């Protein structure tokens, strides 16, 4: 009688036993350098949630472009900020936009916030094979309105590349410049005046721009903000009334003020 070899109690061992293990994570020598779009963040301010990101994309030590929009409006009450490989992240955003709109039209109501949060987690889990190979890795941020309370309250979530979801308390950042941004946000929330959660709109926009300018001093993959070349951030607001974009002119005015 054949005795089967015991399988270790984890998913990857089970895949290997059935010859379904993901491909090795070491890229081939001829593999192209991946384009990365990093440094996004979100924080609560007095009127809702501000989500922002710089506009730089890099491939190794090469700047690919300074015109990437990393904060995407998924629907009227949801925002997605991408950090990682933009090709994968943009496709996830398109899938979410389509699925949320299909549900709204077919069911005559919008998805609940928990369902939206899980939908993104599922896309990240389905990207497991690419993540295990070290390509197509995405670590996004998500903000949506919780309509179970009145008035509706914006909430912020962050994810690891495997799909685990966590609710942020006050603020969160992702990407190569996130360490600097989280440090400044933490300091300002504990010792600053006003705290980010107390800032009015103009103060919050100016603070967000200065966060990116500070991060760019320590991280070459963060494009920062340069009024001289009219290079600003992508900034979107989520309030109880829905999503609103902050354009370059408004950013420039807030920065001068």
Does 38 qualify as catalytic in the annotation?
yes
* Residue 147, burial from CB neighbour count under 10 angstroms (0-12, 13-18, 19+): middle
Are the C-beta atoms of 96 and 80 separated by less than 8 Å?
yes
Q: Which of 59, 13, 61 shows the shortest CA–CA distance to 32?
A: 59
Question: One of 38, 88, 131, 234 is an active-site residue; which one?
Answer: 38
Helix axes 248-256, 201-218, angle to 10 degrees: 90
| Tokens found for residue 84 | 């990682």
DSSP string, 191-234: H-SS-GGG--HHHHHHHHHHHHHHHHHH-TT----BGGGTB--E
Radius of gyration of the chain (CA): 20
Residue 40's closest CA among 87, 93, 82?
Answer: 82
CA 86 distance to own-chain centroid = 11
Phi/psi of residue 146, nearest 5 degrees = -90, 105
Residue with tokens 């993104």: 120
Residues known to be catalytic: 38
């Amino acid at each position: 009688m054949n005795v089967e070899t015991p399988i270790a109690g984890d998913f990857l061992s089970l895949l290997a036993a059935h010859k379904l293990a993901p491909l090795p994570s070491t890229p081939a020598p001829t593999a192209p350098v991946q384009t990365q779009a990093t440094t996004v963040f979100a924080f609560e301010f007095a009127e809702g949630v501000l989500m922002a990101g710089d506009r730089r994309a890099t491939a190794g030590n090469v700047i690919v472009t300074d015109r990437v929009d990393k904060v995407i409006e998924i629907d009227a009450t949801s925002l997605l900020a991408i950090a990682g490989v933009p090709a994968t992240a943009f496709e996830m955003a398109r899938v979410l936009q389509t699925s949320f709109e299909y549900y709204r039209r077919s069911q005559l109501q919008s998805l609940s916030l928990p369902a939206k949060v899980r939908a993104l987690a599922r896309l990240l889990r389905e990207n497991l094979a690419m993540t295990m190979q070290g390509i197509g890795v995405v670590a996004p941020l998500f903000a949506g309105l919780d309509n179970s309370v009145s008035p509706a309250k914006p909430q912020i979530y962050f994810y690891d590349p495997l799909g685990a979801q966590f609710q942020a308390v006050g603020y969160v950042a992702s990407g190569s410049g996130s360490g600097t941004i989280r440090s400044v946000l933490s300091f300002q929330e504990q010792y600053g005046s006003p705290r980010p959660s107390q800032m009015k709109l103009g103060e919050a926009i100016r603070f967000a721009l200065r966060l990116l300018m500070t991060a760019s001093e320590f991280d070459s993959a963060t494009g920062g903000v340069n009024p001289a070349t009219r290079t600003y951030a992508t900034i979107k607001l989520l309030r109880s009334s829905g999503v609103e974009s902050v354009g370059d002119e408004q950013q420039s005015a807030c920065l001068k003020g």
